[in-house]
Amino acid sequence: MMNRHIFRTGWKKGTMLALTLTFGLAVAGCGTATTSKDEAQTTGSAGQAEAASTDQKLVVYSAGPDGLAKKLVAGYEAQSGVKVELFQGTTGKILARMEAEKTNPVADVVVLASLPSVQGLKKEGLTLPYPDAKNADKLNPDWSDKEGNYFSTSASALGIAYNTKLVKTPPTSWADLAKPEYKDQVNIPDPSLSGSALDFMTGYLSAKGDGGWTLFEQYKANGVAMAGANQEALDPVITGAKGVVVAAVDYMTYKAKAKGEPIDIVYPTEGTVISPRPAAILKSTQHEQNAKAFIDYLLSEEAQKLVADASLLPGRTDVKADKRANLDEIPLLKTNWEWMGEHGSDVTEKFTQMFK
């Protein structure tokens, strides 16, 4: 017994040392790889103490669409010479990352695709007010914070997207989709995954009162299927597996249509909901001047044109979009954002239970 131990441990000793050494070196290797970031950070905080001009960094967490976020960052970089680190994800991914980084925040500016979540950030005291943002007075006042905690620099509208090969006469009202001809034909995005879908549901309910639930009950009875986030709900309609998406984000539909896919969108006559996409500076920012300059850039005419080019609604009322329906062409429901923010989680729960 002892014999075995001796030689076993004997050879093990040698290997173990070698392995430990290798591991140690590897960790050290990872360590050296990080120095550039350290330097960047030190210069960052030092720069803040002296003058803003030496601070050449900004970290932005942005929800899609992908191409637009990159263009905006490139535009800002070209104008300011600041190097932007961009993290892209859905609103949920960004919030999860922020939560995980709570004790040691990294992001300076967040751009989300849902107003209630940024209202939540404000309530928790995580946002930095910037009341002097340039051109903020030209923004749609309903979508942004009066104290300058967040600025909705773009928005999407919710509509009914349909496959033009399968649906010849498009529906004109939300209630149409409860009709027998749409039985098992309709997708609706999951409000726990799609902030804009939730905006539609809470917006519709805030306008119609509790009676609004009747519509969703009829939907359920007509075989409407809850299907992932926005793109996941739209894809089966593009390929023809389903005919219609209700509460579809309009810019995704416009984009697919521009490519030539057999798809189009209508806004029901009784009105729909707009889903603003707010940008906010985080209180924990280490690059305050750059963050403010970035917000100014998002509100500039140049950036607002980029927004319009991406088929989104510009946040500024004086910039028009030519590739899509403008705000004045979309019938709106009388929504109450305060109510919507407060009842988001209840509505999500009730809705997802109903459509399970």
Residues 214-273 touching another protein, rule: CB under 8 A, are 227-229, 231-232, 234-236, 238-242, 252, 255-256, 259-263
User: Which of 47, 76, 110, 114 lies at the binding interface for another protein (CB under 8 A)?
Assistant: 114
Q: Which residues, numbered 123-162, are part of the site for another protein (CB under 8 A)?
A: none
Min separation Cβ 331 and another protein, Å: 26
Is 132 in contact with 285 (CB distance < 8 Å)? no
Q: Which residues, numbered 275-304, are part of the site for another protein (CB under 8 A)?
A: none
Q: Which residues, numbered 13-52, are part of the site for another protein (CB under 8 A)?
A: 13-16, 19-20, 22-23, 26, 29-31, 33-34, 37-38
Distances (CA, A) of 58 to 282, 288, 319: 12, 9, 27
Tell me the DSSP string of 60-124. Answer: EEE-S-HHHHHHHHHHHHHHH-PEEEEEE--HHHHHHHHHHTTTS---SEEE-S-HHHHHHHHHT
User: Which of 60, 177, 244, 295 lies at the binding interface for another protein (CB under 8 A)?
Assistant: 60
Write down the H helix ranges in the chain. Answer: 2-33, 35-50, 66-80, 91-100, 115-123, 195-208, 213-221, 230-239, 250-259, 288-298, 301-309, 337-355
Min separation Cβ 123 and another protein, Å: 11
- Residue 6 in contact with another protein, rule: CB under 8 A: yes
Nearer to another protein, 12 or 179 (CB): 12
CA-CA distance, 47 to 54, in Å (whole number)? 5
Is 203 in contact with 211 (CB distance < 8 Å)? no
Q: What would the x/- binding string for another protein be over residues 162 to 201, using CB under 8 A?
A: -x-x------------------------x-xx-x------
Q: Which residues, numbered 300-319, are part of the site for another protein (CB under 8 A)?
A: none
